[in-house]
Amino acid sequence: MNHVGLLITAALLIIQQCCVLQIEGRNDGFIRTRGIHFMLNGSPFYANGFNAYWLMYVASDPSQRYKVSNVFHEASSHGLSVARTWAFSDGGYRPLQYSPGSYNDQMFKGLDFVIAEARRYGIRLILSFVNNYESFGGKKQYVNWARNQGQYLSSDDDFFRNPVVKGYYKNHIKTVLNRYNTVTGVLYKNDPTIMAWELMNEPRCTSDPSGRTIQFWIAEMASFVKSMDRNHLLEAGLEGFYGGSYPQKMSINPGFNIGTDFIANNQIPGIDFATMHSYPDQWLSSSSDQSQRSFLNNWLDAHIQDAQTILRKPLLVTEFGKSWKDAGFSTYQRDQLFGTVYYKVYSSAKRGGAAAGGLFWQLLTEGMDSFRDGYEIILSESPSTANLIAQQSHKLHLIQKLFARMRDEAMWRRARAIRRDHWLPRKGGKRIGN
């Protein structure tokens, strides 16, 4: 079957879902899920996107906000539609949260600007609440705050267990959700520019490899978020490692267990879609480039299949990339990695599958040398990679466009049939006109 045939077949499978959403009247601009698909105003939504953790931090300095505007402009011109970034900076230098419940309004105004600019350029945001790592504070900072209040905590992993720490974290969630945007005048929890919230960037709990600790924590926090915000999607921030719920799948992991479980964690009712990260150059650093690509193919295939058949939820590849700091690096190798991720996403999407997009790590604009980490993409400096990104955006846009057109045609036929059924009895059963 050719590509057009596949697209039409997939579209027909989705049309019924689209019509249901139209009947429910959910044309409010929020991205939602229906089965294994993201939906926007009744049509499937696919995300070609990027990570830019630095957006709030840079925007907190009004003299540097042009860099945020520039990166959104460049992203939009390449068809990128989703950005993932931090809604946290805990303690330390220029924090968002000085101490539990005490906030730096200048930093919050930076995030206000980021959300407003994203809206201006038609880009949706995934906002993460906290870091697993020490960068920008993370779980270590929360644990230290609790220790300063007399709590005896033996591990940074007590972030997931201690009620005082969990109270600090919940308060941060509540503060972010109820933030009044000083630029747009819209509460964050009411703003459709935000596609989704993320509980944590790459949660790990090595002190409990069974996975129970993080399972309970995700369930508790997902319920808490949903009790305050039913508009937005929620994801856990997982890297995609398999755990004890499907032990036969643990052999797919890159050789370590960090206390998460891709299947069980994403089956929690409040989690709306699954995520995965992919860094073969980090996880298999001593392996050849060919071995890393083989791992990547298997890693993607397994998660796309499991999201579709076991989880029955959409899947986003929320981080992937290749560092120029790797031994023997070439732009060609990086483009191969991008091409592999993009091919797997597109192949699933055109068949109506669960893979809904990929977000590379990370996008910068010119004049940001201090933010370079080896994985950065500056579109003007990387023409071959930029071309791959733009092509993927175009292909996903064509899928969305076809699905939308077929949805409209199906709704027109349905309305015509209803109108015909309404008029026939009034005309004595005789059909009049066309």
Q: How far apart are CA 187 and CA 306, in angstroms?
A: 35
Using alpha carbons only, give the angle 156, 201, 151 rounded to the nearest 5 degrees.
Answer: 25
Phi, psi of 146 (to 5 degrees): -70, -40
Orientation angle between helical segments 105-120 and 65-77, nearest 10 degrees: 30
CB 89 within 8 A of CB 128: no
Catalytic residues: 202, 319
Q: How far apart are CA 158 and CA 427, in angstroms?
A: 74
Please choose, from the candidates 422, 417, 415, 427, the residue with its C-alpha nearest in 3D space to the C-alpha of residue 22: 415
- Name the token pair of 217: 């924590």
How far lies 26's CA from each of 97, 225, 270, 402, in Å?
A: 35, 21, 19, 20
- Name the token pair of 132: 């697993």
Query: Three-state DSSP class for 123?
Result: coil
- Name the token pair of 77: 């011109």
b (16+ CB within 10 A) / e for 63-77 = eebebbeebbebbbe
Pairing of strands 37-40, 43-45: antiparallel
Task: Please classify residue 351 by burial: count the beta carbons closer than 10 Å to its beta carbon, then call 0-12 exposed, 13-18 middle and 19+ buried.
Answer: middle
b (16+ CB within 10 A) / e for 381-408 = ebeebbebbbbbbebbeebbebbbebbe
Q: How far apart are CA 257 and CA 206, in angstroms?
A: 7
Task: Please classify residue 288 by burial: count the beta carbons closer than 10 Å to its beta carbon, then call 0-12 exposed, 13-18 middle and 19+ buried.
Answer: exposed
- Name the token pair of 149: 């209040």
Tokens 């409010």 — which residue? 28
